[in-house]
Amino acid sequence: MQMGQIGSAGERRLQSEYGTGDRAAKFYSDQMLDHLNPTMIEFVGRQEIAFIATADASGECDNSLRAGTPGFMHVIDSKTLAYPEYRGNGVMASLGNILENPHVGIILVDFVQDLIGLHVNGSARIVDDEVLRSEIADLPMDHSGGRIPERWVVVDVEEAYIHCRKHIPRMAPVPRHREWGTDDVKRKGGDYFDAKATPRHDSDGQVVEEPAPAELTQVIAPGFSVAPAGTSGN
């Protein structure tokens, strides 16, 4: 990647204004790639969660979590990775944004072993499972409790770079039965934030609908716990 191609105009403007240009240039030169190197590929292959940032055509943003067993985010080659999309709540927020605006930002964070993160930015497209499976011989057949993906998001890698470890907490996996694919409202978290029972208002501040009665929520134990203070490691 040529240095002139790295970073947005906004980045460069603020680097000049705040006097951080030399630091930024060193980071670009030392840490930013336009592909996944072997160490990055190995890292991606053992992660269980990823955070996906998207925006629609007007720049309205969304950030979502994707999770699965290690390897659920599949590296096709050094310039391409793919992650599965399963049946969900039907909103299609991330996919809808990608349909309008293909730019995506992915961050994978190792909270357990190395306490490090990897940013992957690129251009995404939506591909049905049967189509991608016919093209990629080693595409994983089955992840997340036996479900087959409905479709995949295929990302052409444009930037890949480190997220430093200094503020990443160490977490420890704990046993948990995950309800992959369930439609049970309570097992999915129920109305945890009381949104269903919260009144909606119009532009004049008037209530537009009566709130529904609050539901009891069954809280499922998380898959990770934060390590006690003093055990943050590296």
Instruction: Sketch out the chain's domains with CATH numbers.
Output: 1-31 (no CATH), 33-163 (2.30.110.10), 169-234 (no CATH)
Hey, is 68 helix, strand or coil?
A: coil
Average pLDDT by consecutive 10-residue portion of the chain (234 residues)? Answer: 69 97 96 98 96 97 93 96 91 96 98 97 97 92 70 98 95 82 73 86 78 48 46 42
- The span from the CA of 108 to the CA of 86, in Å, is 19
* The pLDDT of residue 143: 53
Quote the strand ranges of the chain, DSSP E. 49-55, 61-67, 74-77, 80-85, 103-110, 116-128, 151-163, 171-173, 200-201, 207-209, 224-226
* The pLDDT of residue 15: 97
- The span from the CA of 217 to the CA of 193, in Å, is 9
Q: How far is CA 152 from its chain centroid?
A: 14
- The span from the CA of 30 to the CA of 161, in Å, is 9
Is the overall model pTM greater than 0.95, yes or no?
no
* The pLDDT of residue 181: 67
Q: Closest Cα partner for 66 from 187, 153, 179?
A: 153
Give the distance between the most distant pair of CA atoms in the chain.
58
* The pLDDT of residue 52: 98
CB-count exposure of residue 47 (10 Å: 0-12, 13-18, 19+)? buried
* The pLDDT of residue 233: 42
- Residue 20: how many CB atoms within 10 A of its CB? 13
- The span from the CA of 125 to the CA of 192, in Å, is 33
- The span from the CA of 99 to the CA of 72, in Å, is 22
* The pLDDT of residue 151: 96
| Angle made by CA atoms 182, 188, 189, in degrees to the nearest 5 | 165
What are 49's strand-pairing partners?
67
